[in-house]
Amino acid sequence: MSAGLSVRGLSAGYNGLVVVREASLDVAPGEVVTMLGPNGAGKTTTLLSIVGALRPMAGSITFDGEDITKKGTDAISRLGLVLVPDSRGIFFDLTVKEHFRLAVAKGDKDGLDAILDRFSALRPLLNRRAGLLSGGEQQMLALGKALVMKPKVLMIDEMSLGLAPLIVQSLMPIIRQAAEEDGMGVLLVEQHIEMALRFADRGVVLNRGEIRFEGPASELLANRDEVEASYLART
Ligand SMILES: Nc1ncnc2c1ncn2[C@@H]1O[C@H](COP(=O)(O)OP(=O)(O)OP(=O)(O)O)[C@@H](O)[C@H]1O
Ligand SMILES: [Mg+2]
């Protein structure tokens, strides 16, 4: 069986209402895939189903050859499939150091120094409460905390939410570095089409719960007009 994440025919939703319909996608080790799509397309629902926070209605999810469709969130994160949620999963009353301590308990102690080298702006802030950090610093903490867990595949929901483009552009290379050096696969949900496609290897476009496009990021970028038009598709 193949390494990485493989989603086949995933349908998911809430209270019996289907909002993601037969979606299939793959993330190979070291590969950066971006998932694009308008508000309400079903991007977050897809991620929540993959990590076991929402029970899929149909389909299968395989991770490193293992069927994880019915596993719970803790078991899935222990296997190395980690989600940075759009809420960033940060506790405002805990300090930066305390966040890392919690994450290190699940991961690799030696890795912490390496992570702080990558997010050097967090070093002087180790004793600050997370609620007092700027939006960009909070996102660095969310990413750093996830990377300490040495994920095999990292999924990030709307990394750029509320952040200045310059800050997002400074975070992208850190993710790329982890993909290249550690062979980490990345599934990045983004609203900014062009920025995401310039960064990713491959893209999938979701609208109204269905995958409308997928292909190499360069191809989607070259057909940007069609990609944008698919955002407006009603069927
Ligand atoms: N807890 C919930 N209960 C009922 N419906 C929900 C729930 N969460 C999301 N939905 C609905 O499911 C659909 C898909 O939502 P989802 O959050 O997956 O979209 P999204 O692509 O992540 O959008 P955005 O870009 O705004 O984050 C939407 O119509 C939304 O209203
Ligand atoms: Mg969302």
Of the bound ligands, which one is closest to the alpha carbon of residue 13?
1
In the numeric block, which tokens belong to residue 162?
């509320």
Question: Which residues form the domain of 28?
Answer: 5-90+150-232
Answer yes or no: is 107 within a domain.
no
- Distance (Å, whole) CA 131 – CA 216: 38
Give yes or no for residue 39 CB within 6 A of ligand 1.
yes
Burial class (CB in 10 A: 0-12, 13-18, 19+), 141: buried
- Distance (Å, whole) CA 136 – CA 144: 12
In the numeric block, which tokens belong to residue 166?
């310059």
Give yes or no for residue 49 CB within 6 A of ligand 1.
no
How many domains are there within the chain? 1
Answer yes or no: is 11 within a domain.
yes
Point out the ligand 1 atom lying closest to the alpha carbon of residue 20. Answer: 14
pLDDT digit string (tens) for 165-186? 888 888 899 999 999 999 999 9
Answer yes or no: is 174 within a domain.
yes
Global pTM?
Answer: 0.94
CATH number assigned to the domain comprising residue 201: 3.40.50.300
Answer yes or no: is 114 within a domain.
no
Give yes or no for residue 41 CB within 6 A of ligand 1.
yes
Q: Closest by alpha carbon to 199, among 230, 227, 175?
A: 175
**Substitution candidate for ligand 1 out of 15, 34, 43 with most atoms within 8 A of CB:** 43
pLDDT digit string (tens) for 87-144? 888 999 999 999 988 887 666 667 788 888 888 889 999 999 999 999 889 999 999 9
